[in-house]
Amino acid sequence: MKLTAIRTMLLALAALLAVQTTPADAQFLSQWRIVAAGQPREVGNSELLVTPVSDWNRSTNRPTRYSEAWTQDGMALNELDFIVALKEGKPLFRERNRRRDPLPKFDADFLPTDIAEFFENSAQVVLGGSLFTVTEVRPAHLAGYPGVHFAYTYTGGDNVDRRGEVRAAIIDKKLYLINFDAPRIHYFDASIGEVRQMMDGAQFRR
């Protein structure tokens, strides 16, 4: 079901059941905001602008202070992550167990190929041993800056085969990264064209 249909259904349901809405319901709905098609958005409270082609849902619960997450059909079906202005010495994802499973830390002197390895090593820690493979690495630009574009595959804890693509660059000694992740069947192909457009069109506010 597409986002517009889901949104229409939710609005109708809210109108019918407004008097029965509980605080928990309101809290759930407040966790999401529409990112409207064609409207540039500064992601992660940074000056990096991204313009979606169609509507997306943005989670108001940011994974880290450096990141922001969007979806169209639910995080398990398509997840678009923006990691912005990540500083030297910081991990890519939120630490779960710093003592037992510490995450790799960002180095501002990374080469573009090092970014792909940094992402892969970070993902393997977070996924807890799931088979994660980078399948392609090539030079690319993000917001006009030289960087890297790479693709990957893995099988999650739900035994669903997934694909992903990343565009990243180190700008002023900080890492900027856009990551898309979705099941291999249907959902990846359904959204990757638009995601690549957003990656290509990302720019800094002038």
Q: What pLDDT score does 16 carry?
A: 33
Question: Percent of the chain scored above 70 by pLDDT?
Answer: 84
What CATH superfamily is the domain 32-204? Mog1/PsbP, alpha/beta/alpha sandwich (3.40.1000.10)
CA distance 86 to 65: 9
- Comparing 68 with 21, the larger pLDDT belongs to 68
Beta bridge partners of 80: 70, 180
Residue 175: which H helix or E strand, with range?
A: strand 174-183
pLDDT in tens, 25-73: 444 445 899 999 999 999 988 999 999 999 999 999 887 889 999 999 9
What is the average pLDDT across 167-195? 97
Regarding pTM above 0.75, the answer is yes
Strands lying side by side in the sheet with 79-86: 32-35, 56-59, 67-71, 79-86, 174-183, 161-171, 145-155, 132-142
Tell me the average pLDDT of the chain: 86
CA distance 103 to 69: 20
Bridging pattern class, strands 203-204 and 174-183: unpaired
What is the average pLDDT across 107-130? 91
Q: Which residues contact 129 (CB under 8 A, 6 or more apart)?
A: none
pLDDT in tens, 146-158: 999 999 999 977 8
Q: What pLDDT score does 30 carry?
A: 52
Q: What pLDDT score does 8 carry?
A: 42
- Residue 111, number of CB atoms within 10 A of its CB: 11
- Comparing 188 with 155, the larger pLDDT belongs to 188
Range name among 8-22, 40-54, 77-91 with the lowest pLDDT average:
8-22
Q: What pLDDT score does 129 carry?
A: 61
- Comparing 135 with 205, the larger pLDDT belongs to 135
CA distance 162 to 182: 6
CA distance 82 to 70: 8
CA distance 23 to 21: 7
What is the average pLDDT across 113-132? 89
In the chain, ranges of CATH 3.40.1000.10 domains: 32-204
Beta bridge partners of 161: 155
DSSP, residue by residue, 60-98: SS-SSTTEEEEESS-TTT-EEEEEEEEPTT-BSS--SBT
- Comparing 180 with 24, the larger pLDDT belongs to 180
The answer to whether residue 102 scores a pLDDT higher than 60 is yes
The answer to whether residue 18 scores a pLDDT higher than 50 is no
What is the average pLDDT across 87-93? 95
The answer to whether residue 2 scores a pLDDT higher than 90 is no
Question: Collapsing DSSP states into helix, strand and coil, what is residue 190?
Answer: helix
